Amino acid sequence: MLLKVGDRNPLVAFFQFVLKENNYYLGSIDGIFGNQTKEAVISFQKSLNLSQSGIIDDELVKELLPYITVPTSIPYTYEITNIVIQAILYKYNFLQMQNIGKSVMQKDINCIKIGNGTNHVLYVGSTHANEWITTPLLLKFVQDYSDAYSKGENIYDKNSTELFNKTTLYIVPLHNPDGVDLVNEAIDTNSEEYLNAVQISNNYPNIPFPEGWKANILGIDLNLQFPARWNEAKEIKFNQGFISPAPRDYVGVFPLEAPEALALYDFTISNNFRLMNTFHTQGKVIFWKFLNYNPPNSEVIAKEFAKVSGYSLQDTPYASSFAGFKDWFIQNYNLPGYTIECGLGVNPLPIAQFDEIYNDVLGIMVLGIWL
């Protein structure tokens, strides 16, 4: 990594946020590395008796880790997510991280593990690219839960030590790193991957680019890739006109074709999860069923989730009823699985909604590892 005067990208905005939070930067968070940002970097370097280059490189990032908290006011990218994860791991040595697979562009799909209980639970975010606000949502929860546990305090209304000892929670905060980078303009516009995405988008001119992009970088919708009546999903989506790689709703050539979907599938198969929540946007609804499957306690838990969040319980609309991760989890294990549609509006939801969304779903995230 090397950031210097003249650079413009989301990563610059991230470091502006970090420096501002720590009173080194007084300017606006605009993602433009100007002289004011350079002076802030120099001030930070000076405070630690470092070489005062005014440049952000990998060595400086290591020095910044103790000062980083989860940003909740800026767009996220793969690189920002990884730095935030490093900072959380630096502060809380009881956390663990593992790589569950790689994206099309060979970016790691990482998972954070917290707790040591026999009850294993999985949370997933940013399966859909323009629903990236679910990444900071999950990272903020990891931070708050870890902080509460380290201090022996409650999170929500539950004892964090009891939660930690009861449940081992696995969180995949960024399932679709390439797609999120595309939406948030963190992919080189001259790269083969970007130009291919533009061509795909041109075939679907009614979907805005890049903000309408949900798929992985190859135009495969990851939440239509699981072996849960996949052929029905294919028929529905083909009838809707999604017959080739698309910004959304293309099921692919066969189930688990996309490496991101296969990674999550393999990870789930290799574990013994008793409950799964996958976080999406938008609608303020909880989808809790797949066809006529009715896993034990699933409806009871769903009603508790609805109670603490104010979200409504709904059956998944028929046109979206097949080949999702939740659908496969319920079909394969007959265990509770939920799609939590956070917030309300047009995707990507504005980051200004973050606090409201987090407050709404915090109870769900806590109850998911308590019940």
Q: Which of 79, 131, 260, 341 is catalytic?
A: 341
- Residue 21 known to be catalytic: no
- Classify strands 108-114 and 167-172 as parallel, antiparallel or unpaired: antiparallel
Phi, psi of 164 (to 5 degrees): -60, -40
Pairing, β 154-155 against β 158-159? antiparallel
The residue whose two tokens read 């034990």 is: 296
110 near 260, Cβ under 8 Å? no
Q: Which residues pair with 293 in a beta bridge?
A: 290
Q: Which residues pair with 32 in a beta bridge?
A: 8
Q: Count H helices and E strands in the chain, helices first.
A: 13, 12
Cα(213)–Cα(220) distance, rounded to whole angstroms? 10
Question: Whose structure tokens read 């002076």?
Answer: 39
Place of tokens 């900072």: 87
Q: At what angle do helices 354-367 and 134-151 cross, to 10 degrees?
A: 60
Place of tokens 């009603």: 303
* Cα angle: 145, vertex 146, 150; to 5 degrees: 120
Maximum Cα–Cα distance across the chain: 64
Element (H, E) at 288: none
Task: Provide the 3-class DSSP secondary structure of residue 312.
Answer: strand
CA distance 72 to 74: 6
Which residues form the catalytic set?
A: 341
